[in-house]
Structure 1
Amino acid sequence: MYLRETKRRNRDGSVVSYLALAHNERDPESGTPRARILYNFGRADRVDRAALERLVDSIGRFLGHESASEQADAGSGELPPVVDSRAMGASWVADQLWQRLGISTAIGEAVAGGRVDAELVERVVFAMVANRLSGEPLSKRAGTRWVAERVFIPGLEAMSEDDCYRAMDRFLEVIGEVQRRVFFSVANLLNLQVDLVFFDSTSTYWETDTADQPDPREELDPREDERATDGDEAGEAVEAAVRTWGRSKDHRPDLPQVVIGMAVTREGIPVRVWTFPGDASDQTLLRTVKDDLRDWQLGRVVWVLDRGFTSEQNRRYLQRAGGGYIMGEKLRGASSEAAAALSRQGRYRTVAGNLRVKEVRVDDGAARDRFIVCHNPEAAERDAAVRAAIVARLEAAIEGSDQLPAAERAELAGALRTKPGYNRFLRTTPKGYLRVDRAAVRRDAHYDGKYLLRTSDESLSAGDIAEGYKALYEAERGWRDLKTGIDLRPVFHHKPQRIQAHVQLCWLALLLMRVAEHATSDTWRNLRHELDRLHLVTMATREGHLAQRSELTPGQRDILAALELPTPPRVLDVAATK
């Protein structure tokens, strides 16, 4: 086998050479050797020399020889200088998942048309999502340098700050369609179970002294006329990103905020994220969330929510169109139904590990609910130990208070009642003396290790309901990862549409993170730590710049295998010297 060059003379007298990969074979009849063409490279003056060099290098590696560029540099006594090196492992894996889950196609097709470059918008959106996954999320301005100098983003060598803002604005315009297409693509690919949808909300704040003035156009809900006939007096929330004061779940009531809602599947895959004004309550925003997912026609969905959503109006609203719910119920709340459920006698049965449940029916009405009393013996022991410690500290705090003047005793009582743990077990006698409320201690012991669930679903067993509610932890874990791993805050935006777009970018980052964790049974932090060891190194050879990845480690190969992703090509770019 050899490289064959043939020449042909043109009419004008010029000579043209052609290259081909040939192999000599002996003719069985004449016995003379004849050349058999295996591959035509075309005209010699137009041949892709870089492709030939790669072919030579690949053959040399198989034979254990040095590459052509290495031999040339070795002959000069110098190693090829490295002109650039940047991380590529985490961004490569994220981009492969981005393509497989159909996010790239969904964004590209949704933003196509008009005067925007759909491919650029999609790549810039991915770059901002990849930065959220990098472990060091940056502002848009700093992110431009991150793309240009520190990381390899497939298909994007550089971007400007204006590119980021234009991409965010265009992305938000089509976010509804993107969310729907991405969800069904992910659900089909991962075979997700969407019979249970877990919903929770949180808030995030801004370091600013003033709140936003709401846009008059956002004060009206386009579905208001449709809902006006519902006969429900509860307020409706409109999705918007208006920063205002509200009940802060980050314990920063001094700063304006927005409220964010998130729905996840039982596997922890985030279905969708919503952004609401900072003073929107959990009870009102739930209406918009249910209606939005109803438009996706998911079929029968059972909502799993914590105790903050347990109003009667919410429960009945969730039951519309055949829906259902599983809700936590406050043990020490004012609900007479909950008190009746806890007072009913019955025998517990073990359903999983040390979790015991018993089912209680409180009424026989048409809209009756099932109550599931759950009990964990280990948690009961912890609750008893915590209560004993609180009572002991309370006794020590009030010891000798009988000798204090009445005014000082009242001041001590006021200070102790500011602490919820002490306030539960502190009582004041008619004469103003401070005592431990032993009756309250006995009542509290009745709740040790218990939590109460309320459901409208008749098809799920008590054990399935208890296990399903425990999976609400996935939504809470999503908030923790959004705020710490992906760094939802601080947010460097002030316009409402940019705030909404920022939250949606964080949602896509969480989606990629959860898919990777689900497939590898490992945390994204560990995966990123291993993948960041994979670098793209650019060397300056005599033939031009050669961009080559580092060798894969066993850990990186395991990650790619678990995710069923291809191995990154060894050589990603060859730029001939001009």
Structure 2
Amino acid sequence: MVEAFEGNKAETKTMLPVIRSFMAAHDLRDVTVVADAGMISDANQNAIEDAKLSFILGTKIPELPYVVKKWRTNHSGEDIPDGHVFTQPWPATQAQKAKGRRDKVIYYQYKADRARRTLRGIDEQVAKAEKAVAGKVAVKRNRFIKLTGTTKSVNRDLEAKARDLAGLKGYTTNIQNPTPEFVIGAYHNLWRIEKSFRMSKHDLQARPIYHHKRESIDAHLTIVFAALAVSRFIEDCTGWSIKKFVQTARRYRTVQIRADHRILTAEDPLPTDLRDALAQIT
């Protein structure tokens, strides 16, 4: 199923129509929408909830969550264990329940490696901000630079807040009886979708395209997604990436030579690994 919309149509007007078409095509009563926080606006989340659909969404963390503050108060001087998950129930209000909305749960997971990467990025940005404030480099876009009129300074409050949040990632769901392992695991499987998106956009040349008629656009996208399906089939059968398969197989050709009334076929012998891969497909 391929859906295409005009380029000036906002995501809030495209997500639900696609979901409803998918549910109708496969006779589904409910689906679970899994998406990154950067892809889901508040309007989209409200629309998903109003449609009474299940979801697992990445959650932006503007402030240090209460459950994390409480843990730090009770474990003063201790580091949060790597992989620790904080659970924050988020019951629906009576007004929300009247609209059919469900209770939600927010999981906050702390990862030491994520914290190290984030803190390293904060250190680099703060160092650049300090140089800009000192007049050593030009002021560029930097969230840690505070401008008050013509006065520049390093926003230490924002720096402290960013350091407090380092290593935490939030996940919100409204599915019934969730577990953090299932919710976080489902979210982290998004890399498979992202991989397909990158492949369809670049390797399969889904864009840029220069079609203007709706029929041409639909035909182009149908071919792209058919090629994506074939690529996924080859990867599943062979265990190879499609890039490795194409680069390995494209070196081998079969050549037919006409000599008088005879046709001679010349071909390079296939290596064992490629022959085995082809056998898996056929």
**TM-score w.r.t. structure 2 length?**
0.82
SS in 1 for 2:5: strand
Question: How much has 1:469 moved relative to structure 2?
Answer: 0.7
Question: How much has 1:372 moved relative to structure 2?
Answer: 1.2
Q: What is aligned with 1:447?
A: 165
Structure 1: give runs of 5+ residues left out of the alignment.
1-178, 180-272, 333-338, 349-353, 402-411, 566-578
Q: What is aligned with 2:255?
A: 537
Structure 2: give runs of 5+ residues left out of the alignment.
73-81
Q: Find the aligned partners of 1:488 and 1:555 in 2 and give their Cα distance.
A: 31
Q: Find the aligned partners of 2:135 and 2:20 in 1 and give their Cα distance.
A: 59
SS in 1 for 2:165: coil
Question: How much has 1:400 moved relative to structure 2?
Answer: 5.4
| Matched residue type, 2:5 | F
SS in 1 for 2:219: helix
| Matched residue type, 2:274 | Q
Structure 2 CA distance for partners of 1:285 and 1:492, relative to 1, 3 Å: closer
**Is 1:511 paired with 2:229?**
yes
From 27, 40, 44, the equivalent of 1:309 is 40
**Is 1:289 paired with 2:8?**
no
Q: What is aligned with 1:25?
A: none
SS in 2 for 1:371: strand
Which one has the largest radius of gyration? 1
Q: Find the aligned partners of 1:469 and 1:344 in 2 and give their Cα distance.
A: 21
Output one character per residue of 1:11-70: Cα deviation in whole Å (capped at 9) or x when no partner: xxxxxxxxxxxxxxxxxxxxxxxxxxxxxxxxxxxxxxxxxxxxxxxxxxxxxxxxxxxx
Q: Find the aligned partners of 2:177 and 2:265 in 1 and give their Cα distance.
A: 59
From 133, 145, 149, the equivalent of 1:426 is 145
Output one character per residue of 1:197-230: Cα deviation in whole Å (capped at 9) or x when no partner: xxxxxxxxxxxxxxxxxxxxxxxxxxxxxxxxxx
| Matched residue type, 2:14 | L
SS in 1 for 2:4: strand
Residues 67, 87 of structure 2: 8 Å contact kept: no
| Matched residue type, 1:361 | P
Question: How much has 1:538 moved relative to structure 2?
Answer: 0.9
Question: How much has 1:516 moved relative to structure 2?
Answer: 1.4
SS in 2 for 1:344: helix
Question: How much has 1:476 moved relative to structure 2?
Answer: 1.7
From 127, 132, 143, the equivalent of 1:392 is 127
Q: Find the aligned partners of 2:71 and 2:185 in 1 and give their Cα distance.
A: 19
From 55, 66, 69, the equivalent of 1:343 is 66
Question: How much has 1:313 moved relative to structure 2?
Answer: 2.5
**Is 1:330 paired with 2:49?**
no
Q: Find the aligned partners of 2:116 and 2:151 in 1 and give their Cα distance.
A: 31
Output one character per residue of 1:60-87: Cα deviation in whole Å (capped at 9) or x when no partner: xxxxxxxxxxxxxxxxxxxxxxxxxxxx
Q: Find the aligned partners of 1:492 and 1:282 in 2 and give their Cα distance.
A: 22
Q: What is aligned with 2:76?
A: none
| Matched residue type, 2:236 | H
The aligned runs of 1:86-125 (5 Å cut-off) are none
The aligned runs of 1:353-368 (5 Å cut-off) are 355-363=83-91, 365=93, 366=97, 367-368=102-103
**TM-score w.r.t. structure 1 length?**
0.42
From 463, 468, 475, the equivalent of 2:186 is 468
Question: How much has 1:519 moved relative to structure 2?
Answer: 2.8
Aligned length: 261
Q: What is aligned with 1:527?
A: 245
Q: CA RMSD in A?
A: 2.6
Residues 383, 449 of structure 1: 8 Å contact kept: yes
| Matched residue type, 2:171 | L
| Matched residue type, 1:551 | P
Residues 67, 86 of structure 2: 8 Å contact kept: no
The aligned runs of 1:98-177 (5 Å cut-off) are none
How much identity, in percent, do the aligned residues show? Answer: 20
**Is 1:274 paired with 2:3?**
yes
Question: How much has 1:496 moved relative to structure 2?
Answer: 2.1
